[in-house]
Amino acid sequence: MLYFVATPIGNLKDMSYRAVETLKEVDLILCEDTRHSLKLLDFYGIKKPLKSYHKFNEKERVEEIVSYLSKGKNVAVISDAGTPVISDPGNVLSTALREKGVDYTVIPGATAFVPALILSGLSASNFTFVGFLPEKNKDRKALLKRYDSRPETLIFYSAPHDVEKTLAYLHEGLGERKVALVKEITKLHETVYSGVLGSIEINEPKGEFVIVVDGAKEVATDFEMSEKEHIEYYLEKGYSKKDAIKIVAEERGVSKNSLYKYTIEKEQD
């Protein structure tokens, strides 16, 4: 049997009894960084063979793992923190095992976005976990376009060195919304920054971040005016292009970025 085992996201004591028991019983543990995982395993007195399993070699490891399982061996997969597969290595393997008809199971536990959502204070009634933004500008814009009018809370991940850029991309794609940035979850310096996209400030962007963004406002869909006519209405009232777009975006529950094309068309006219 293969086990995907969740590990702590910060506090080493956030490990289930079943997870510890499973890691003590398997024949092999696959982990992202063997040195990092040794800290956790040593904490619980777990002495097992370790093998690296990360995003750069997970495709290559599939047949090797399947062969190992076919010999009656038990294998555990862990990531550096949290639940494997969720923005961590493991999805390639889970897909391959399902396609090959090989059984596997999950030992559930910590996942960063759940406590972050609770700590944010934003609505937890409905939410969508998006994860890390794509690196390519085209892909990033297309992704945010899919979510800019969604009413549920949106959850993103960001590395510390990317957090400022990620916030800028979210502001551009989603507009001014409530946002909470959560870092060091379950650790001594657990911190929540709350504010609005476009104006929130962060002190010392260290540690992995979970970014929780308010959903789009529920708006009426029976506007008599088109978006273009709506903008022209405020322009004729003497508002600047910037202010007109901001007001229309708020009233219609869309991002400002999606409306600029109408002012460009007007200038060309």
Strand partners, 189: none
Mean pLDDT of the chain, nearest integer? 91
**Helical ranges in the chain per DSSP H:** 17-25, 34-43, 58-70, 91-100, 113-120, 137-147, 163-174, 227-236, 241-252, 260-268
- Give 22's Cβ-side CA count (13 Å radius): 23
How many CB atoms are closer than 10 A to CB 76? Answer: 24
Tally of helices (H runs) and strands (E runs) in the chain: 10, 10
Cα separation, 97 vs 64, in Å, equals 12
For the chain, list the domains and their CATH numbers. 2-107 (3.40.1010.10), 113-213 (3.30.950.10), 227-268 (no CATH)
Cα separation, 118 vs 244, in Å, equals: 35
Q: How far apart are CA 92 and CA 78, in angstroms?
A: 14
Q: Tell me: pLDDT of 220 over 60.
A: no
What is the distance in angstroms between the CA of the first residue and the CA of the last residue of the chain? 67
Tokens of 55: 């995003």
Cα–Cα–Cα angle for 139, 143, 145, rounded to 5 degrees: 120
Confidence bin at 206 (pLDDT 50/70/90): confident
What confidence tens digit (pLDDT) does each residue in 152-180 have? 999 999 999 999 999 999 999 998 899 99
Structure tokens at 222: 């029976």
**pLDDT tens sequence across 225-253:** 888 888 888 888 788 888 888 888 877 77
pLDDT tens, position by position, 75-116: 999 999 999 999 999 999 999 999 999 999 999 999 999 999
Contact 5, 78 (CB under 8 A): yes
Q: Phi and psi for 182 in degrees, rounded to 5? A: -120, 130
Q: How far is CA 13 from the centre of its chain?
A: 24
Predicted confidence at residue 264, as pLDDT, reads 63
| Mean pLDDT on 58-70 | 94
